[in-house]
Amino acid sequence: MPELPELEVVCEVLQRRLVGQTLAAVDVLPPGGPIVARDLTGQGFAAVLTGAAVTAAARRGKFLIFTLAPAAGGPLWLAVNPKLAGRLQLAAAGEKRKAKTWLVAALSGGGELRYLDPKQMGQLYLTPDLARVPEYAGLGPEPAALSLADFRARLRAFRGEIKGILTRGECVAGIGNAYADEILWAARLHPYRKRTQLTPEEVDRLYAAMQTTLQEAVAKVRAAMGEAIHLEPRDFLAVHLRSGEPCPRCGGPISVVSANQRLTNFCRTCQPGGLIKGM
């Protein structure tokens, strides 16, 4: 699942490559239309997008937001929520399409912007009001916008296991399964510790780990991804999806727990405090 670091870099690339261009032609490929492309304008997804100029690109949490100036009418937004496997791709017009490509937009400057999604779980919302996009209005602040005092206050509003809280977009935006594992490893906190069990010093450590981990990941993704925005470089991750491998810090084996259709990786030596069955 693309998270804050990947989407931040994708947004940087699209700010350079897409903003200022017009969507000369838009093709929604069946059967992706009714599942992937969600028209909240009532005027037709492809029809409204065709001829629209892209005036801005931004990231908000795990959404990519494109501001559009359509050929007629007021401004609109295209909100991309890639979820588990959705990806955007910049491609040459004649380049072979990857499997499960659901949208192709020809760009006025040449080339195409494509959306592909093997799981067909993500959505593209065309809307005159971003508040109508599911899960968007309730997003919490971006990690970089949070002071330590703000972070402490936001955590107090949530109960339960700390990993689950980190991945709740209404607490803090942009963190998913992978980077929650990385942040908690950096903070030396067990992912299944209850928030109410954390000491003030541990909360401060968690905040510092969140900031450092995400900032460093953005830099590493930027270097590895380049302009290939459909890729998800993660070979630098310390623990996520590395079950059985040695912990980079202590050398002990990385553990894995599968619960609620989600894999959690951590080091039992570096992150003590849980009685969870697993590897």
Domain boundary pick from 132, 155, 180: 132
Task: Give pLDDT, residue 33.
Answer: 62
Is 83 among the catalytic positions?
no
pLDDT tens per residue across span 134-146: 999 999 999 999 9
Share of the chain above pLDDT 70, in %: 96
Q: Is 273 left (phi over 0), alpha (psi -120 to 50) or beta?
A: left
Is 246 among the catalytic positions?
no
Is 2 among the catalytic positions?
yes
Q: Is residue 275 part of a domain?
A: no
Phi/psi of residue 22, each to 5°? -110, 145
Q: Is residue 59 part of a domain?
A: yes
> In which domain, by residue range, is 218 found?
143-267
Q: Is residue 276 part of a domain?
A: no
Give the mean pLDDT of the chain: 94
Task: Give pLDDT, residue 27.
Answer: 94
CATH number at residue 68: 3.20.190.10
Q: Is residue 138 part of a domain?
A: no
Domain boundary pick from 105, 132, 159: 132
Q: Which of 3, 6, 161, 182 is catalytic?
A: 3
Q: Which of 98, 156, 159, 262 is catalytic?
A: 262
Q: Is residue 137 part of a domain?
A: no
DSSP 77-122: EEEEE-TTT-EEEEE-TTSPPPTTEEEEEEETTSSEEEEE-TT---
Q: What is the DSSP letter of 144?
A: G
Q: 274 pLDDT exceeds 90? A: no
Confidence of residue 35 (pLDDT cuts 50, 70, 90): confident
CA–CA separation, 246 and 252 (whole Å): 5
Is 234 among the catalytic positions?
no
* 249: its two tokens: 């810090």
Domain boundary pick from 132, 157, 173: 132
CA–CA separation, 197 and 160 (whole Å): 10
Residue found by looking up tokens 């690109």 in the block: 57
Tell me, yes or no, whether 123 and 161 share the same domain: no
Which has more pLDDT, 262 or 206? Answer: 206
* Across 83-104, average pLDDT: 95
Q: Which of 59, 62, 87, 188 is catalytic?
A: 62
CA–CA separation, 52 and 278 (whole Å): 51
pLDDT tens per residue across span 145-171: 999 999 999 999 999 999 999 999 999
